[in-house]
């Protein structure tokens, strides 16, 4: 009988802890959520304004290596089944 009561008490304690965590999280989001969202929106807006003011200028730290993609070259045959910037080798089977 004693073990049965201890099991019920542990279950109730677990349920109370889960409810406290749930409602504590809801309270945290209610009070700090708008502040965190406002801060994220302000940061995104600041980044967008910087990118709009200098679209070609990217911020690269000194000592960092940046690899830009090679611009695609215009070829005479646009219906190629292989990429134009790679070398294509046609193999023939020899018997």
Give me the pLDDT at residue 73, please: 64
Cα maximum dimension of the chain: 89
Give the pTM. 0.41
CA distances from 46 to 37, 43, 56 (A): 14, 5, 17
Q: Helices in 1-95 by DSSP H: which ranges?
A: 2-53
Give me the pLDDT at residue 41, please: 96
Q: How confident is the model at residue 95 (pLDDT cuts 50, 70, 90)?
A: confident
């Amino acid at each position: 009988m004693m073990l049965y009561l201890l099991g019920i008490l542990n279950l109730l304690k677990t349920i109370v802890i889960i409810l406290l965590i749930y409602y504590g999280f809801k309270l945290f989001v209610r009070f700090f959520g708008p502040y965190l969202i406002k801060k994220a929106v302000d940061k995104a807006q600041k980044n967008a304004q910087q990118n709009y003011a200098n679209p070609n200028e990217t911020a690269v730290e000194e000592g960092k290596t940046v690899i830009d993609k090679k611009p695609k070259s215009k070829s005479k045959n646009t219906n190629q089944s292989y990429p134009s910037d790679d070398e294509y080798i046609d193999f023939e089977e020899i018997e």
